[in-house]
Structure 1
Amino acid sequence: MRTEPLQQWLNGQLSARSFPYEPTMDAFQHHGKHAMPQQWLTLLSAARDRLGKVSGPKDHLAAFLFTALDKADNRFDYRSYLALPLLPIPDPDTSSYRTDRLMTRRDHYHILLLSDLIAFELDALDGNRTTLPQLRPIAPVVRKRLRHAARASVPALRRLSNDTDLSDDPISAARLLIAKADVGRSSTDRLMLRTSMLPVSTAHDEWLFVRVLQTFELTLGQLAVDLTAACSAVSDNRLPAAGARLCAAAALLRETAPLWSLLATMQPEAFHTFRVHTDGASAIQSRPYKLVESLCGTPDRRRLHSVAYQSVPDVQDRIRQGQITIDDALDAIHANHSTVAQTPALADGLQQFAAALLQWRRTHYRLAVRMLGTEQHGTGATPGTPYLLRNRDTKVFRHCSLTGSSHQRRQPA
């Protein structure tokens, strides 16, 4: 991979629009971020140093360079590994779109991410893909992946368009889904997809791993927005509206089930091949998940000072500053179990979301055990599967008795 395009850019007009993303991404995906040649890293660092002189909109370029140089800067983590600064993750603090518009955006990017994964798998199956050639899966595994990816796409497709008919054949369904996703795809969308895949290795299955986790982060961000809205509705004593928002959030979380099935097609050998290069990046650092967790109920002091929250200091600060949770909002209006029961829509919303989140945790635990075993620590000395086991059944809401007498701890997982 030749560095001349990047050298020429540095010696030229320094326009954000002309940055050589294509050859740069080719290099990252050829070598893997962990083995990126020093010559490339030196030039990218020089580009970052000159950002102040770059003309044109440069937010994306700045985010890309920040993400691409994480290992070189010794600050590699979950957020930079998944290139989350380059993705439009919904956030209750910054998202200004109306509810329907925000959900449409989430669905749009959900389809884009999955269609990119599908295209990658089809290209490899057809022999047209040379990127990430190590440990390619056999054709039956690819067909299974395509089937799960199509299933995971259908609910979002249904909301975006009435035309959701897909073939029963996974290959045909995958090609049709790519065609549907390409309609209305903007140049900004293409740039986001192209630059948000910075694998650490050349193992084929890492593409699957990254795209599925990015899709989860997108959904968890949307759930954080939904729970914030539900908190506000409870605080305003609009209990049926809060229940409706919780039911919608539960439905969205249930839609992620095929993503777990998709992730389960990952080959353990491939996973362990690239996992050795991900030290420092752990899902325990997921900001959207911690927002979801902490918006259900305030974590106790031990939990708040655990490594789980130390890894997301801004969420930790929100809690210390008195972030309102659904449990807190119900307390504030003197709600109790009988009051919740007298508001069927709210009771239904609490139970549906609690059930969906508990199922999500348990599925996460089962997949982690399959890949890592029952006593394996996570990357960066994080607790790993023992932590997931301890927290998979923790009660979601204090004002919901769904989990029964054996799970009456207030603290969410």
Structure 2
Amino acid sequence: MARVVTEHVRQTGKHFLSERMLTELSSIRSRHSMHCSFLDAFLECLLDKHEGRYWNRTYLALPLLELLLDDQQSELSPDRLSTLLVSDAIRFEVETAGGSPEPPSRGRPDPVTLRKRLRHAVRFVGDELSGPDAADLADLVDRLPRPPTTAACRWFDVTVHPVYVLHDEYFFIRLLQTHEMLFTAISTDIRTAIGALRDGKLEAGLERIHHATAVFERAAILFRIIATMRADQFSTFRKFTQGASAIQSEQYKRFEILCGRPSAPRLHSAAFTSVPAVRDEVEKAARDTVTQAYLDLRGAGAFGQAEWDLLDAALSGLEARHQRWKSTHRSIAVRMLGDAHGSGYTDGVPYLTECVENRLFWQLSAR
């Protein structure tokens, strides 16, 4: 059922599903979803507009993807799932370019754009596609990594529900999902680093901080892929995404609050009022941060100067990579949005410009 419904959504756009179909899906959810968490998550995302609770998590089918991460048989890490998501985007581009059914009105990319898009996407997937040029499409699909053959991973193929019918929205959704997985991985790194620092295990803490910085390098590749999206297609389908925005990314905000408590203006800005669950987490007394661990350990004289130099360099590297990531995000928004408001009811580019000034370790820089 989920596959048939998903195919229909991709033919019509979630925003344009008939009232009759939505009513039938609501009925199915009320009768059967309690028996299957995957079906419940699938319908939660599919019925979001119909039920008046549409936002970033449901647009990106994150409740369903998170169930895949939780499935012990699949043994998927956020980093691995990010690779599978981009691989699926590559598969979609290659298959539609090769004549897979898709009406011309959907606007497939021209050959030059396609080659550029695939070149960056193949680079993201990395060694598993070692060697051949991205323009050699003959066996590329066969070499792409696929999800494990578990019962849970059968749901992987039904985690893209475009709101409209233009070609670029499919790969746009996959890349935003990938960003969420990368920030899930980064948050895990930072949380582990805090624990290691608290235990006095500087080397282990440094390893996780460096890994988080490296994951930001992968995230930078995603921006190069997104830059191949046609502005006219984006401006058309985003008319139907109002209410869903990257400003609502809970995983990005969790990464931020693990680094340090946000300043009062930041905490009361749209960045955190858009994610009330994460904002509540900031107020929890047990919430620890890299910044607080650093200050406590400094006060206790836990490490020698050479060790502090290593930690300072690692945090500076993470801060610098994060700043470059934000600047690149802003640059793409300038090209895609221009003067338009953001789909999360922000001012768009001016909001992102303000965010560039935000620092993860602002309390340490003032030390």
> Who is 1:12 aligned against?
none
Alpha-carbon offset, residue 129 of structure 1:
3.0
Kindly, what percent of the aligned residue pairs are identical?
35
Distance 1:138 1:109, change over 3 A: same
Distance 1:340 1:384, change over 3 A: farther
Return the alpha-carbon distance in structure 2 between the equivalents of residues 295 and 212 of structure 1: 24
Is residue 341 of structure 2 the alignment partner of residue 369 of structure 1? no
> Who is 1:282 aligned against?
245
Is residue 135 of structure 2 the alignment partner of residue 170 of structure 1? yes
What SS does the corresponding residue of 1:342 show, helix, strand or coil? helix
> Who is 1:404 aligned against?
none
Return the alpha-carbon distance in structure 2 between the equivalents of residues 198 and 348 of structure 1: 42
Distance 1:67 1:90, change over 3 A: closer
What SS does the corresponding residue of 1:75 show, helix, strand or coil? coil
Alpha-carbon offset, residue 338 of structure 1:
12
Alignment partner of 1:111 out of 76, 83, 100: 83
What SS does the corresponding residue of 2:77 show, helix, strand or coil? helix
Return the alpha-carbon distance in structure 1 between the equivalents of residues 120 and 230 of structure 2: 15
- Greater shift, 313-322 or 144-153, is seen at 313-322
- 1:191-210 alignment to 2 at 5 Å? 191-192=155-156, 194-210=157-173
Whether the aligned pair in 1 keeps the contact of 2:9 and 2:17 (CA below 8 Å) is yes
Distance 1:216 1:330, change over 3 A: same
What SS does the corresponding residue of 1:394 show, helix, strand or coil? coil
Alignment partner of 2:289 out of 309, 313, 325: 325
What SS does the corresponding residue of 1:170 show, helix, strand or coil? coil
Alignment partner of 1:306 out of 244, 266, 269: 269
Is residue 49 of structure 2 the alignment partner of residue 49 of structure 1? no
TM-score of the two chains, using structure 1 as the length reference: 0.81
Structure 2 unmatched runs, 5+: none
Return the alpha-carbon distance in structure 2 between the equivalents of residues 90 and 340 of structure 1: 43
> Who is 1:11 aligned against?
none
Residue deviations 1:71-96 (CA, integer Å, cap 9, x gap): 001111011111111113899xxx79
Whether the aligned pair in 2 keeps the contact of 1:82 and 1:197 (CA below 8 Å) is yes
AA matched with 2:96 = A
Structure 1 or 2: more helix by fraction: 2
Residue deviations 1:114-147 (CA, integer Å, cap 9, x gap): 1211111112111113279512211111111111
What is the RMSD of the two structures over their aligned residues, measured on CA atoms?
2.7
AA matched with 1:332 = D
What SS does the corresponding residue of 1:381 show, helix, strand or coil? coil
Residue deviations 1:213-238 (CA, integer Å, cap 9, x gap): 00010000111111111112222222
Whether the aligned pair in 2 keeps the contact of 1:285 and 1:312 (CA below 8 Å) is yes
Is residue 2 of structure 2 the alignment partner of residue 24 of structure 1? no
Residue deviations 1:104-123 (CA, integer Å, cap 9, x gap): 62343122211211111112
Return the alpha-carbon distance in structure 2 between the equivalents of residues 281 and 21 of structure 1: 23
Distance 1:326 1:200, change over 3 A: same
Residue deviations 1:45-68 (CA, integer Å, cap 9, x gap): 10111136x65xx00000011110
Residue deviations 1:11-65 (CA, integer Å, cap 9, x gap): xxxxxxxxx112211211111011111111010010111136x65xx00000011
Whether the aligned pair in 1 keeps the contact of 2:78 and 2:184 (CA below 8 Å) is no
Return the alpha-carbon distance in structure 1 between the equivalents of residues 357 and 160 of structure 2: 33
Alpha-carbon offset, residue 276 of structure 1:
0.3
- 1:14-413 alignment to 2 at 5 Å? 20-51=1-32, 58-88=36-66, 105-130=77-102, 133-154=105-126, 157=128, 164-172=129-137, 175-176=139-140, 178-182=142-146, 184-192=148-156, 194-322=157-285, 323-334=287-298, 342-343=306-307, 344-373=309-338, 375-398=339-362
Return the alpha-carbon distance in structure 2 between the equivalents of residues 60 and 115 of structure 1: 22
- Greater shift, 224-233 or 273-282, is seen at 224-233
Whether the aligned pair in 2 keeps the contact of 1:282 and 1:379 (CA below 8 Å) is yes
4+ residue stretches of structure 1 with deviation over 4 A?
335-341
Return the alpha-carbon distance in structure 2 between the equivalents of residues 284 and 337 of structure 1: 39
Alpha-carbon offset, residue 267 of structure 1:
0.1
Alpha-carbon offset, residue 398 of structure 1:
3.7
What SS does the corresponding residue of 2:43 show, helix, strand or coil? helix
AA matched with 2:316 = Q
Distance 1:153 1:185, change over 3 A: farther
What SS does the corresponding residue of 1:171 show, helix, strand or coil? coil
Whether the aligned pair in 1 keeps the contact of 2:59 and 2:161 (CA below 8 Å) is yes
- Greater shift, 67-76 or 237-246, is seen at 237-246
Return the alpha-carbon distance in structure 1 between the equivalents of residues 103 and 185 of structure 2: 31
Whether the aligned pair in 2 keeps the contact of 1:279 and 1:379 (CA below 8 Å) is yes
Distance 1:226 1:88, change over 3 A: same
- Greater shift, 124-133 or 387-396, is seen at 124-133
AA matched with 2:90 = I
Distance 1:39 1:337, change over 3 A: farther
Whether the aligned pair in 1 keeps the contact of 2:194 and 2:289 (CA below 8 Å) is yes
Whether the aligned pair in 1 keeps the contact of 2:79 and 2:181 (CA below 8 Å) is no
What SS does the corresponding residue of 1:115 show, helix, strand or coil? helix
Return the alpha-carbon distance in structure 1 between the equivalents of residues 217 and 347 of structure 2: 26
Alpha-carbon offset, residue 340 of structure 1:
8.3
Distance 1:81 1:169, change over 3 A: closer
Residue deviations 1:201-255 (CA, integer Å, cap 9, x gap): 0010001110000001000011111111111222222223212210111011112
Whether the aligned pair in 1 keeps the contact of 2:260 and 2:289 (CA below 8 Å) is yes
What SS does the corresponding residue of 2:106 show, helix, strand or coil? coil
Structure 1 unmatched runs, 5+: 1-19, 158-163, 402-407
Distance 1:337 1:77, change over 3 A: farther
